[in-house]
Homo-oligomer: A and B are copies of this chain.
């Protein structure tokens, strides 16, 4: 499969973002997690679309990869600011995914 490293990083990022968004809802102080939930959801959604587009021979994909990289970095920053394990794990998955986007574009 073409692009398999990026597709694999995207899959990992999607799972962590979906899980983190829902786990945040269970936290004592949900109010503090609002931006994390929102960014997780956007990140999962953008990563999922990129993974689908990369599985095809559609060629004009670089701008979507760049947008995905930006969203992954934003999500890594947001999640990285919270101590919960699901946030820290998610931040790491987002960071790796942003790096895979960068490697793809290089």
Contacts and interface: CB of A to CB of B under 8 A. Distances in A.
Interface of A: 1, 7, 11, 14-15, 18-19, 21-22, 25-26, 30-31, 34, 37-39, 41-42, 44-46, 48-49, 51-53, 55-58, 60, 63-64, 66-67, 70-71, 74
A105 B43 CA distance: 21
A39 B66 CA distance: 20
Main secondary structure of the interface of A (DSSP, over half): helix
9 contacts: A15-B55, A18-B52, A22-B55, A30-B34, A31-B31, A46-B64, A60-B74, A63-B70, A67-B67
Contact of A46 (B18, B26, B37, B53): B53
